[in-house]
């Protein structure tokens, strides 16, 4: 018998799910995904629109954050030090020569005050070279030309309006006539109101400021004039870009949750086609690639279109934003690295949202895929365990943050949010188990939610995220309102306000005023007091060092004395004493009016007493500023108010003489007959702003409460939008079940009840999870003072827990009409 032989004419087909087919197979699958995207772009329009909106909004937000710029540039220009010399005449020339020898290139700017009739503030007459080496960025010509001669001036629009000036007109100021040759502005600070003259044309009493650029070592080693003070330009950070990216991440997470629901429905619609693809030899990797490539196309399209829309909108809107932020905006000066990160994040969001349904679809057996049956839901406890762990970790981080550690705060918020999102499947499963206790239509709706858990859980997670943010803001606002209403604590009593001459009260420089300006300011204070029916108006005087350096480039004023705890710190190679504002007391002069107001007999104060205060002692405190570092005040205790903005520490005439300080007007304490309302505060602030004054009151919390209600309304609107999208997906996915109900004689009201119950159940689940998460987060945050949470925002919580489900149910009932004709035919794959 002859031997037998066998010849294999062709390679056997690869085992299903094992082969990969190489690059040609992947290209074929990607081309098919692209054709599906073009054919079914309407079904994917929702995800596209959401991505476009998120990317466009983030682009505008990055533009706004980038437009803030460096606030110090409006004063320093491109220099990093601003020196002030107090000398005049020949001594000033000698001091400037010393600075030129020490630092080389410098820029000299002279400032002279221009009193404003009827106002406590003064404008700045500025002698500056428009082409200076460091300060040219602080000048911009809007009309006319820069002044060149001795009798020429350019003014900002506010100065022109105040003194009724126009181009080519004449300005008689201080007995000197000048021709207005131009309109100028500081593009880095549109609130900088000044008049510009040629270099050297300021008055003899002008203050000399010098812009310098040098390193710390050079500045220390350089020879400097006696009596010179210098301000150092701090390191500029970009605090605006990071919050925008954080908000963009939250927004894209929300979009991703909705995209998961959309991609899940699309995967179910394509199940038969995917099964056919697997039947002809496609691997699991190829099936995943179909949906992931589709997600990448959607993400890239949304990112490109959204970026274009955002850039166009920012270019059109940014000019209107300039008056609000007080500086000129370079429309194309965007943080491009953050912009690129945002585009990449948008694409990754779409890819990530498509990957999870793609992973589930790739694991479906071929026979089950060809039958297009719904997949059995995955056990909810797998997500619940991870969600509980993340929620506990987030709450623990908030608990240990002590309101001061940013890493713990950020990690806590992210942990709580992610934990709640992972608990959404557990809530959907629980709703499915409760279906047996409700009537027929709600029973079918709840079981459908549990049956299509992947899509339902994503929708509940999105609603939870929107509602949780709104509920947290409402609870935080309620805490603020409760603190404002508390009888103790706060900066001021509820029935008092202070009208300050300076913008920072006695914590910053107090402007030097003429008697006429002081009288004009007191007149405005009397107007405020009359509107409040005030029972008393108490003048407050500050202790100022007349020989100290003046602060600000437009005559901002001189620093006043403070008592504060000093701690040594090294910043930028320099060791200095930093003072904590929470532990510093502005020293108010112990005038007879102040002593009489608080019932203190002047005869009871010892002749050598320096400070009268509510504190027991001032051991360990330093007086700033002082040329007597070894001076330790003698303190006498008195019954003075402990509010931070009230005169709780008084400096006596003995200390004023010892430290060579001068009493200057600081503000007025106005006492109303009852607690101030928000309307009264608004009117007082409006009156004060017209005269350049600053009003300080105890916060009422009304503004925060209004913002919280607005945020609650936005959260509910977003949740309703999610419901509209989700219910539409559910109706398209359960069309066969609706046809079966119709065939068995179910009336229209049953179909309406199904849709309404679905929307109401999703809204209720999201509202409960979001509110519970917000309460847990606030409990961890306020664990040391839980009593503040005893004042719940009833209106906001009622709107979330009752109003949102009710509106969702009613909307589902009204919008669920006759079945669309397209649902009566099964589409071919």
Q: Is the peptide bond before 261 cis (omega within 30 degrees of 0)?
A: no
Task: Give CA–CA dist 715/466, Å, rounded.
Answer: 5
Note the pLDDT of residue 239: 52
Separation between Cα atoms, residue 733 and residue 266, nearest integer Å: 9
- Clarify whether residues 78 and 152 are in a common domain: yes
CA distance 334 to 60: 10
246 pLDDT more than 70: no
Check residue 240 and give its pLDDT. 58
Structure tokens that stand for 762 in this block = 């999703």
Assigned domain for 14 exists: no
**265 within some domain:** no
Total number of domains in the chain? 3
Predicted pLDDT of residue 91: 84
Q: Determine which helix (DSSP H) or strand (DSSP E) holds 257, and give its type and residue range.
A: helix 241-269
pTM of this prediction?
Answer: 0.64
pLDDT in tens, 363-395: 777 777 676 666 566 665 667 788 888 888 888
Residue 406: band (very low, low, confident or very high) from pLDDT cuts 50, 70, 90 = low
| CA gap 256, 660 in Å, rounded | 66
Could you read off the pLDDT of 138-190 as tens digits, one per residue? 999 999 999 998 889 999 998 998 888 999 899 988 778 899 999 999 988 88
pLDDT band at 56 (very low <50, low <70, confident <90, very high): confident
Instruction: Render pLDDT for 178-233 as a digit per residue (tens, 0 to 9).
Output: 999 999 999 888 888 899 999 988 877 788 889 998 888 888 888 888 777 777 77
pLDDT of residue 381: 63
Give per-residue pLDDT as tens, 516-549.
Answer: 888 888 888 999 999 999 999 999 998 887 766 5
Residue 327 lies in a domain: no
- Mean pLDDT for 563-569 is 57
Q: Of 816, 669, 822, 760, nearest to 449 (Cα)? A: 760
The 10s digit of each residue's pLDDT in 284-311 is 777 777 778 888 888 888 889 988 988 8
Q: Which residues contact 100 (CB under 8 A, 6 or more apart)?
A: 106
The residue with greater pLDDT, 421 or 237, is 421
In terms of domains, do 591 and 732 share one?
no
Which range marks the domain in which residue 586 is found?
A: 496-698
What local confidence, expressed as pLDDT, does residue 520 receive? 84
Among 698, 731, 759, give the residue marking a domain's end: 698
pLDDT attached to residue 377:
60
Instruction: Based on the fold, state whether residues 683 and 752 are members of the same structural domain.
Output: no
Q: Tell which wins on pLDDT, 472 or 11.
A: 472
What does the alpha-carbon distance between residue 397 and residue 405 come to, in Å, rounded to a whole number? 10
Residue 543 lies in a domain: yes
In a domain, 606, yes or no: yes
Query: What is the average per-residue pLDDT within 101-124?
Result: 82
pLDDT of residue 276: 74
Decide if 198 is inside a domain.
yes
Query: Is 516 in the same domain as 646?
Result: yes
**How far is it, in rounded angstroms, from Cα 128 to Cα 137?**
12
pLDDT confidence tier of residue 828, bands split at 50, 70 and 90: very low
Cα gap 663→588, rounded to integer Å: 9
Residues 757 and 673 in one domain: no
pLDDT in tens, 588-626: 999 999 999 988 988 899 888 988 988 777 766 666 555
Question: Does 23 map to a domain?
Answer: no
* Paired strand residues for 551: 557
Q: Is the pLDDT of residue 823 over 50?
A: no
Cα 515 to chain centroid, rounded:
42
Determine the average pLDDT of the residues in 682-693. 85
Q: Is the pLDDT of residue 83 over 50?
A: yes
pLDDT of residue 616: 73
Q: Quote the tokens at residue 79.
A: 């220099």
Domain boundary among the residues 639, 669, 698 is at: 698
Residues 683, 541 within the same domain: yes
Contact 631, 577 (CB under 8 A): no
Indicate if 576 and 679 belong to the same structural domain. yes
- What pLDDT score does 64 carry? 75
pLDDT at 825: 46
Q: How far apart are CA 158 and CA 195, in angstroms?
A: 10
Higher pLDDT, 566 or 149: 149
Q: Which residue has the higher pLDDT, 703 or 669?
A: 669
pLDDT of 444 > 60? The answer is yes
Which among 645, 536, 655 has a CA at the least distance from the CA of 607? 655
What pLDDT is stored for residue 465 in this prediction?
81
> Does residue 578 carry a pLDDT above 50?
no
Q: How far is CA 290 from the centre of its chain?
A: 40
Predicted local distance difference test score (pLDDT) of residue 198: 92
Residue 477, token pair as written in the block: 């606002």
Same domain, residue pair 722 and 642: no
More reliable by pLDDT, 17 or 110: 110
Out of 57-61, 87-91, 381-385, 736-740, pick the least confident. 736-740
pLDDT of residue 672: 92
Q: Has residue 331 been placed in a domain?
A: no
Residues 730, 805 within the same domain:
yes
Per cent of the chain over pLDDT 70 is 80
Residues 628 and 713 in one domain: no
What is the model's pLDDT at position 442?
82
Mean pLDDT for the chain overall? 78
Residues 642 and 740 in one domain: no
Tell me, yes or no, whether 597 and 559 share the same domain: yes
pLDDT value of residue 12:
47
Indicate if the pLDDT at residue 583 is higher than 70: no
């Amino acid at each position: 018998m002859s031997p037998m032989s066998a010849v294999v004419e062709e390679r056997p087909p690869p085992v299903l799910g094992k082969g990969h087919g190489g690059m040609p197979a992947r290209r074929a699958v990607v081309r098919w995904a692209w054709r599906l995207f073009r054919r079914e772009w309407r079904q994917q329009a929702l995800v596209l629109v959401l991505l476009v909106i998120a990317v466009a909004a983030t682009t505008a937000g990055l533009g706004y954050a980038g437009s803030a710029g460096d606030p110090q540039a409006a004063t320093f220009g491109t220099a990093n030090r601003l020196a002030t010399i107090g000398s005049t005449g020949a001594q000033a020339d000698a001091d400037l020569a010393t600075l030129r020898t020490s630092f080389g290139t410098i820029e000299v700017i002279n400032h002279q005050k221009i009193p404003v009739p009827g106002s406590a503030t003064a404008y700045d007459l500025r002698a500056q070279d428009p082409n200076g080496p460091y300060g040219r960025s602080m000048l911009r010509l809007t009309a006319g030309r820069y002044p060149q001669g001795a009798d020429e001036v350019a003014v900002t629009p506010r100065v022109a309006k105040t003194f009724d000036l126009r181009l080519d007109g004449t300005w008689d100021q201080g007995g000197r006539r000048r021709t207005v040759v131009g309109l100028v502005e500081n593009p880095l600070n549109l609130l900088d109101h000044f008049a510009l003259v040629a270099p050297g044309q300021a008055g003899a009493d002008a203050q000399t400021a010098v812009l310098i650029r040098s390193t710390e070592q050079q500045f220390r080693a350089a020879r400097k004039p006696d009596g010179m003070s210098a301000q150092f330009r701090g390191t500029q950070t970009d605090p605006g870009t990071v919050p925008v990216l954080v908000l963009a991440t939250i927004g894209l997470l929300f979009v991703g949750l909705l995209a998961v629901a959309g991609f899940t429905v699309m995967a179910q619609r394509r199940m038969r086609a995917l099964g056919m693809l697997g039947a002809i030899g496609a691997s699991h990797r190829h099936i995943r690639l179909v949906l992931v490539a589709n997600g990448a196309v959607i993400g890239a399209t949304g990112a490109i279109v959204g970026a274009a829309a955002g850039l166009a909108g920012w270019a059109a809107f940014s000019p209107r934003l300039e008056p609000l932020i007080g500086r000129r905006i370079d429309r194309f000066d965007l943080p491009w690295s953050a912009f690129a990160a945002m585009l990449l994040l948008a694409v990754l969001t779409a890819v990530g949202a498509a990957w999870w349904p793609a992973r589930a679809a790739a694991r479906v057996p071929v026979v089950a895929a060809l039958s297009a049956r719904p997949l059995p839901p995955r056990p909810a406890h797998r997500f619940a365990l991870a969600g509980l762990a993340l929620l506990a970790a987030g709450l623990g981080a908030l608990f240990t943050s002590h309101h001061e550690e940013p890493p713990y705060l950020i990690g806590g918020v992210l942990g709580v949010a992610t934990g709640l999102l992972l608990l959404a499947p557990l809530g959907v499963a629980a709703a499915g188990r409760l279906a047996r206790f409700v009537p027929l239509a709600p029973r079918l709706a709840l079981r459908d939610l549990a049956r299509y858990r992947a899509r339902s859980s994503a929708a509940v997670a999105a609603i939870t995220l929107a509602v949780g943010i709104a509920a947290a803001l409402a609870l935080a606002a309620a805490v603020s309102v409760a603190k404002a209403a508390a009888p103790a604590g706060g900066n001021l009593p509820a029935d008092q306000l202070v009208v300050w001459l300076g913008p920072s009260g006695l914590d910053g420089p107090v402007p030097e005023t003429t008697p006429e300006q002081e009288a004009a300011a007191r007149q405005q204070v009397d107007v405020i007091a009359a509107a409040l029916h005030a029972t008393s108006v108490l003048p407050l005087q500050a202790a100022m060092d007349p020989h100290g350096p003046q602060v600000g480039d437009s005559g901002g004023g001189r620093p006043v004395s403070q008592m504060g705890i000093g701690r040594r710190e090294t910043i930028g190679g320099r060791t200095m004493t930093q003072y904590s504002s929470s532990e510093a007391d502005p020293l108010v002069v112990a005038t007879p009016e102040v002593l009489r107001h608080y019932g203190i007999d002047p005869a009871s104060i010892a002749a050598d007493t320096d400070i009268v205060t509510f504190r027991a002692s001032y051991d360990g405190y330093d007086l700033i500023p002082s040329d007597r570092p070894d001076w330790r005040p003698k303190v006498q205790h008195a019954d003075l108010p402990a509010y931070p903005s009230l005169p709780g520490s008084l400096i006596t005439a003995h200390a004023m003489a010892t430290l060579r300080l001068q009493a200057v007007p600081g503000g007025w304490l106005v006492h109303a007959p009852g607690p101030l309302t928000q309307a009264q505060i608004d009117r007082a602030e409006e009156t004060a702003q017209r005269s350049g004054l600053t009003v300080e009151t105890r916060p009422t919390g009304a503004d925060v409460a209004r913002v919280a209600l607005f945020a609650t309304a936005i959260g509910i609107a977003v949740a309703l939008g999610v419901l509209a999208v989700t219910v539409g997906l559910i109706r398209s996915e359960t069309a066969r079940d609706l046809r079966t109900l119709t065939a068995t004689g179910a009336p229209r009201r049953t179909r309406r009840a199904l849709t309404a119950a679905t929307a109401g159940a999703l809204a209720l689940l999201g509202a409960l999870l979001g509110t519970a998460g917000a309460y847990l987060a606030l409990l961890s945050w306020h664990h040391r003072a839980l009593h503040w949470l005893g004042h719940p925002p009833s209106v906001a919580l009622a709107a979330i827990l009752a109003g949102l489900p009710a509106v969702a149910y009613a909307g589902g009932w009204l919008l669920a009409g006759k079945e669309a004709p397209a649902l009566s035919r099964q589409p071919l794959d």
